[in-house]
Amino acid sequence: MPAPMTPPGDPSDQEDLVFADEAVASPSSAPCAARAGWRILIVDDDDDVHTSTTFALKNVEMQGRPLEFLHAHSAAEAYALLAREPDIAVVLLDVVMERPDAGLQLVRRIREELGMIDVRIILRTGQPGYAPELEAIRGYDINDYRTKSELTRTKLYTAIAAAVRSYQQLRALDASRAGLEHILSAGTQLMTLHGVGDVAQGVLRQAATLLGQEAGGVLCVREGGAARPELLRVVAAAGAEASLAGVELDPQRHPDLAEAAARALQGESGAAAGGWLALHFPGKAGRDFGACIPFGRQPSELERRLLEVFASMVAVGLDNVELVTHLNHAAFRDGLTGLPNRTRMVELIDAVLAGPRRATATLALVDLDHFAETNDALGHHFGDLLLAAVGRRLKSRLQDGGPGRLELARIGGDVFCVLGDATVVQPAAIQTLFRVPFHIDGQDVQVACTLGLVRLGEHDGTGADALKDADIALKRAKSQRRAGHFYFSRSMGVEIRERVSMMHALRSGFQRGELFLAYQPQVDLATDRAFGAEALLRWRTEDGRLIGPDRFIPIAEYSGLIVDIGEWVLRQALAELVRLRAAGYRTLTMSVNVSQVQFRHPQFVEMLRRALAQTGAPPEYVELEITESMAMEEPALLVEKLAQVKRTGVSIAIDDFGTGFSSLSHLQRLQVDRLKIDRTFVTEITGSARGSSIAEMVIQLGRNLGLSVIAEGVEDERQAHILRSLGCPLAQGFLYARPMSPEDLQAWLDKRKLIEAA
């Protein structure tokens, strides 16, 4: 088992990290200064981030190489540095610097203007709300996104190690791609030559170019037959051996060269010994060729593979049809399943979009549910066997519709693509194929799938755009439920653009102070006196439009901006409570809504304590409202979190009670103080036995559990009368007051105080 790799520092805040392809450098390893390091560029306008990052990764080695840090404090400085500095492996990039989108814009310039595709980019931000949305993901090549608060030393190390490995692999792929391009070019050039001698000379020249050196060595053929198998004739020679062209290779005069040629003709292609690299070119009629090239080291794995491809190309007589077939297969086929890959599928979709099949064609992405868990539990080899089995089943079952009607591809790790007529590409038909378990390595494995589909007759873009739209539909299907499906629609694209636009507008509006709080009084139904107020978040844009909270709060939650907004709301509401107490309303309670994202933030309780301490608000007059659905999700975790909140002295109310499916046992464990009857049941209370029954049930439940109950959305006196008769003690709604500004709230309280005094 490899040694555990952990960055230096206090081990108490670290987890053990084990990487199969990384080992701790041995004491005999060369010193760091003698080896090229991985170059890491830190881009952040905060000097402390630079200092803490370099300190956390000090003396760390990855893949046997040290880390070398470069620093930039703005997007402009980083761009200039990237333009002049080569071989930067990873960029640790702050999202918000000169502008809120400075980080994202720098990513675009790195990819598009500088053309730096290999460098890995990890976005970091102190505000979760700056995470890239779907539109940004479609337009930017971002490799990882982390909040600064979650990047502990261990997690930072893990993120950098993964990025470095990815960069190393991409560079290897680039080298491989360049080598294959050279081989293709070499084949074209060799085909223009005439005669065995010219072609042989060209083989030596192209092999040397592939290895990055001057042409040299010999290309031999065995000519003695069975009688004299040792007879080797030099067909072509170059460099220091140029004089040997056309002569018999004499083992007495050139023993090392003759031995290398013999090894080459025996099939030891790619082997280097005695200063010579051997290449074997098997002939179709037993007439094999062997090349011996001066080479002072063992070739790398990549060089060996490229030489094998090159030797294969030469061996088949440089036949153009076979060469193109071989290279096309490497470029357009998935090596694991033999199916077309993403590149080929884009071409196939483009062809369908340009032809008559477009009107009835459907594109589907088939994502295997929980494949990562299967891979982790049973191993990557098992996962590969499962993927191959899925590919075979899709191909054998779906292509019964006839050739040409359906195309299959594997376009990602566990994502397959199906393209064909809508009568064949049916969600039910595809999902039916997964009902029978897959028999893998002696085990039966049940796998389900989720589908994202696009009707190409309704699609306006390219094949690549169609895949992106199918991916959006797939994400929507996965967000709703696993083993389902979803068709992409134009409205989804419009919706995504609107969401992204609103997210940016909300972020800017929050910074400009466009958000504000309105307060709705809460009254005692028996005395009609105000006992509290609920703080309600509102948004008025620069042009004066009011955006409803039902529209912008889900966006704030999804983007993570709700954490910062929620803290601001709490502080504003507590400050208003303190002002009201100073005005004489010392028994007034302030209720504040808390979103699920905000409540689950690891620093929520600490933020609550800090807000109470800094505003001076008495916790016994502060109430936090959580929704019923939130209270029922992961109740065990919520019990502990609520217990921490309760220890601050703050009380808890469950909002929208009656709309969910509460467990009474969980409700008792949550230690809440108040239930809020949802406005839906209050609205129905005068005309629906169901509404009245549910309201009565909640009131009775509160009484039995010793909880206070308040009805929201009370709009007329008849509703208030029925609630009183049912025993509901508290209410809020338009009957008493609409949400109002802090000034209007105090005026409303003053007026009622005067009336009560009179």
614 assigned to some structural domain: yes
The parent domain of residue 560 ranges over: 499-757
Considering the domain architecture, whether residues 125 and 214 belong to the same structural domain is answered as no
CA atoms lying within 13 Å on the CB side of residue 202: 20
The tens digit of pLDDT for each residue in 579-594 reads 999 999 999 999 999 9
Considering the domain architecture, whether residues 158 and 230 belong to the same structural domain is answered as no
Considering the domain architecture, whether residues 470 and 518 belong to the same structural domain is answered as no
Q: DSSP class of residue 3?
A: P
Task: State the total domains in the chain.
Answer: 4
124 assigned to some structural domain: yes
CATH number at 540 reads: 3.20.20.450
395 assigned to some structural domain: yes
Distances in Å between the alpha carbon of 263 and those of 215, 273, 277, 479? Answer: 20, 10, 10, 60
Separation CA 256–CA 58 (nearest Å)? 49
**Quick check: 743 pLDDT over 90?**
yes
Mean pLDDT, the chain, integer: 80
**Quick check: 362 pLDDT over 80?**
yes
Q: Dihedrals φ, ψ of 248, to 5°?
A: -75, 135
Which of 25-39, 420-434, 674-688 shows the lowest per-residue confidence on average (mean pLDDT)?
25-39
Characterise 312 by phi-psi region: left (phi > 0), alpha (psi -120 to 50), beta (else).
Answer: alpha
Question: Which of the four pLDDT bands, split at 50, 70 and 90, describes residue 704?
Answer: confident
Residue with tokens 């063992």: 298
List, as one string, the DSSP characters of 297-346. SPPPHHHHHHHHHHHHHHHTTT-HHHHHHHHHHHHHB-TTT-SB-HHHHH
Judge contact between 590 and 550, C-beta under 8 A.
Answer: no
Residue 521: its pLDDT value, please?
Answer: 96
CATH number at 322 reads: 3.30.450.40
Q: What is the 3-state secondary structure (H, E, C) of 593-631?
A: ECCHHHHHCCCHHHHHHHHHHHHCCCHHHEEEEEEHHHH
Domain endpoint, select from 488, 508, 527: 488
| 568 burial level (CB within 10 Å; 0-12, 13-18, 19+) | middle
Residue 373: its pLDDT value, please?
Answer: 81
Instruction: Name the nearest CA neighbour of 686 among 716, 662, 656.
Output: 716
Judge contact between 369 and 431, C-beta under 8 A.
Answer: no
Residue 140: its pLDDT value, please?
Answer: 65
Judge contact between 430 and 398, C-beta under 8 A.
Answer: yes
Q: DSSP class of residue 150?
A: G
Considering the domain architecture, whether residues 587 and 707 belong to the same structural domain is answered as yes
Domain endpoint, select from 328, 359, 390: 328
Q: What is the 3-state secondary structure (H, E, C) of 346-363?
A: HHHHHHHHCCHHHHHEEE
189 assigned to some structural domain: no
Separation CA 224–CA 245 (nearest Å)? 17
**Quick check: 638 pLDDT over 90?**
no
The tens digit of pLDDT for each residue in 662-690 reads 556 667 677 889 999 888 888 888 775 55
Residue 6: its pLDDT value, please?
Answer: 36
The tens digit of pLDDT for each residue in 321-332 reads 333 444 456 678
Q: Dihedrals φ, ψ of 61, to 5°?
A: -115, 145
Which of 304-313, 461-470, 628-637, 705-714 shows the lowest per-residue confidence on average (mean pLDDT)?
628-637
List, as one string, the DSSP characters of 691-744. HHHHHHHHHHHHHHHT-EEEEE---SHHHHHHHHHHT--EEESTTT---B-HHH
Pairing state of beta strands 415-421 and 406-410?
antiparallel
Considering the domain architecture, whether residues 593 and 695 belong to the same structural domain is answered as yes
184 assigned to some structural domain: no
Name which residue leads in pLDDT, 99 or 68: 68
570 assigned to some structural domain: yes
396 assigned to some structural domain: yes
Considering the domain architecture, whether residues 320 and 361 belong to the same structural domain is answered as no
Considering the domain architecture, whether residues 165 and 207 belong to the same structural domain is answered as no
**3-class SS shares of the chain: helix, strand, coil, % to 5:** 50, 20, 30
Considering the domain architecture, whether residues 744 and 609 belong to the same structural domain is answered as yes
CA angle 663, 665, 666 (to 5 degrees): 65
Residue 5: its pLDDT value, please?
Answer: 36
Residue 128: its pLDDT value, please?
Answer: 56
Considering the domain architecture, whether residues 357 and 322 belong to the same structural domain is answered as no
Considering the domain architecture, whether residues 418 and 511 belong to the same structural domain is answered as no
Judge contact between 459 and 352, C-beta under 8 A.
Answer: no
Instruction: Name the nearest CA neighbour of 313 among 184, 424, 453.
Output: 184
**Quick check: 227 pLDDT over 80?**
no
Judge contact between 470 and 418, C-beta under 8 A.
Answer: no
626 assigned to some structural domain: yes
Sequence-distant (6+) residues with CB within 8 A of 668 are: 705
Greatest CA separation for the chain: 131
CATH number at 118 reads: 3.40.50.2300
Considering the domain architecture, whether residues 584 and 727 belong to the same structural domain is answered as yes
Torsion of CA 431, 435, 436, 440, to 10 degrees: 80
Considering the domain architecture, whether residues 697 and 599 belong to the same structural domain is answered as yes
**H/E segment holding residue 365:** strand 361-368
> What mean pLDDT do residues 356-371 have?
90
Q: Can you read off the two tokens belonging to residue 353? A: 């979009």
The tens digit of pLDDT for each residue in 518-535 reads 999 999 999 889 999 999
Separation CA 278–CA 290 (nearest Å)? 7
Domain endpoint, select from 279, 313, 328: 328
